[in-house]
Chains A and B, each alone.
Chain A
């Protein structure tokens, strides 16, 4: 190897990065020792000693371990992210297509809704929804905006398989969403549906005009053209952007902390506060989200490669 300036520069840069990391690591070590803590993930086996309100199928009691608490948090994040993604894509498609309508009034209504979402913070919407749900009447006097849908200060009861009924002080049957879950899901869906509608609109507008003209010349109706010519081509452009939007929705679900919904960030934060193991919990938090975003990025690269091979 020749000692060109480039190689020397590289070696110096590497030295600086390594020195900085070493210095940060040593500081952390010293500070932790002063607090009587040592790095390591053994504490995850200790009993958590806190309760989790929303446990979503995995039973959890305070004597269970931190690891189990984090798992419950992960499942909660996955639950809200999956429902949020599905719903915001559905509503995003509807809004995006409506925004392309030839009708001025319809376009105007949809556009105002989208603009409202784009220009106000998601957290504001979330806090407003959470406060509103908590201010709802008790289950006995629950609002019933649609048959079988009940809104009370205990959350949202929706009909699924059977209709929710009031038994004692709570709803039984259907799906009952806690106020926190309902507020988080609602805010995420409203915010991201607006965002996705722009993606959908852009992708549809991006389909070349000649394609629709050709389809119509072949005798396809407007609806058929849209269904068989425009949408399939728009979808190709949309898929990577929709995937990014879903990742961003999942990341935004961490706002759950603000309203006390026990998602993975919220549980990890509680764990850090209780044990003092903030370095380890933050590492877990980073690992969780990086796995997700890098995983989705890798999937999208494969998708794009496949499209290129297919001549897309």
Chain B
């Protein structure tokens, strides 16, 4: 295409005319793209749908041997979702997960952004822990037997829920005019963000018990949960700090001029506005975090990914690991993609609502 044809209008729009050479190049590119897509997609669809076996035993699958063996997933579904939880009690993790997922969905809708939502969360988490662990009328189930999707949800939700206050504290500490809180907060944030989550998990399982306990065994899941929360806190702290920096200083001045103390103006004026700015960043951290909780495989806990991995190692069903990973991959994908889309929607909605006021 000649340079002259590309001169654009004063408003900087795209070129108006598209030359014939461009048409040919574009068509070639389309063909190449469609071919690449087809080379990947067609075998996948054949494997996953056309040649797949949906029912039967491992031997049935092996005899046919070309497509996916979804019978394996069907057979292992309770194990993948609930791990080693006693089979007779599986309704409990199922119900506990539904409670948490329902509340996550409610939290995502601005309609429910009321003060009682916090109370609802506290009740829901209490209910979750009671259903999972037992007590009262429910028989006790040790955390070693917890596993699968409820663990993934618990680590994500509690990790972010506990991580947010930690993050706010660290962010405020880092912005403090006082040296001691500032240095403490900066050290914690930089160290935690500087090391991989794997190291944080090892640290919380191997070293934290040594430093905290005096003879008492601390629950491993609790330690992992704490590690995950601190890790989330450090990342959220940086997001909150970014939000605090974006609040114009005149807001603080105005609040002080109205007679509020420094702390009051922080809590009632600056922080709410900063947190509002941070919501999109918070959502993308949450999505990454939902996926990162899978790292607890490394310290031998059973989240959704680890139960899938174990299901694929069952001698009776050897060789169907692809099905297991594709299946849980689809669960992660659905969760992450939905929440990411929601984040974009919320960002647009917030942009328009700010403009209106």
Contacts and interface: CB of A to CB of B under 8 A. Distances in A.
A299 interface: no
Pairs of residues from A and B, 3 with the lowest C-beta to C-beta distance, nearest first: A119-B336, A251-B196, A105-B33
A106 B196 CA distance: 35
B212 A14 contact: no
A290 B319 CA distance: 40
Contacts of B33: 103, 105-106, 108-109
B151 interface: no
A13 interface: yes
B156 to A, nearest CB: 12
A128 B322 contact: yes
B30 interface: yes
Interface string B1-29: 10100111000100000000000001001
A265 B196 contact: yes
Contact of B191 (A123, A219, A290): A290
B325 interface: yes
Contact of B210 (A254, A269, A278): A278
Interface stretch (A147-155, A177-185, A209-217): A209-217
B18 to A, nearest CB: 9
B193 interface: yes
A148 B329 CA distance: 32
B264 interface: no
Interface in B50-102: none
Interface string B219-260: 000000000000000000000000000000000000000000
Given A128-B321, A285-B202, A116 B214 contact: no
B184 A17 contact: yes
B199 A286 contact: yes
B37 interface: yes
Contacts of B197: 251
Interface of B: 1, 3, 6-8, 12, 26, 29-30, 32-34, 36-37, 178-181, 184, 190-191, 193-199, 202-203, 206-207, 209-214, 287, 291-292, 294-295, 297-298, 305, 309, 312, 319, 321-322, 325-326, 328-329, 332-333, 336-337, 340
A229 B194 CA distance: 35
A294 B194 contact: yes
Given A127-B325, A265-B198, 18 more contacts: A27-B212, A31-B211, A106-B29, A106-B33, A109-B37, A115-B337, A116-B333, A118-B336, A119-B332, A120-B333, A124-B294, A127-B309, A132-B321, A251-B197, A255-B295, A265-B196, A279-B210, A282-B207
Contacts of A257: 198, 298
Nearest to A296: B194
Given A119-B332, A265-B198, A28 B211 contact: yes
Contacts of B32: 106
A122 interface: yes
Contacts of B202: 265, 269, 272, 278, 282, 285
Given A27-B214, A120-B291, A127-B309, A216 B340 contact: no
B178 A135 contact: no
A13 B181 contact: yes
B331 to A, nearest CB: 10
Given A285-B195, A290-B191, A294-B190, A121 B294 contact: yes
A265 B34 contact: no
Given A216-B3, A254-B198, A257-B298, A27 B191 contact: no
User: Which DSSP category, helix, strand, loop or mixed, fits chain B's interface?
Assistant: helix
Interface in A3-22: 6, 9-10, 13-14, 17
A278 B321 contact: no
The size bracket of the interface on A is 35 or more
A222 interface: yes
A101 interface: yes
Contacts of A128: 321-322, 325-326, 329
Nearest to B38: A109
A145 to B, nearest CB: 12
Contacts of B336: 118-120
Most buried by B among A123, A213, A257, A294: A123
Contacts of A167: none
Contact of B332 (A9, A124, A210): A124
Contacts of B3: 216, 219-221
Contacts of B322: 128, 131-132
B81 to A, nearest CB: 16
A102 B8 CA distance: 16
19 contacts: A27-B210, A31-B211, A104-B30, A105-B29, A106-B30, A106-B32, A108-B33, A109-B36, A120-B291, A121-B291, A124-B328, A127-B325, A128-B321, A131-B321, A251-B195, A272-B202, A279-B207, A286-B195, A289-B194
Contacts of B297: 123, 258
Contacts of A25: 211
B321 A10 contact: no
A32 B211 CA distance: 10
A286 B178 CA distance: 27
Contacts of A285: 195, 199, 202
A217 to B, nearest CB: 7
Contacts of B212: 24, 27
Given A115-B337, A213-B8, A10 B26 contact: no
Most buried by A among B181, B211, B287: B211
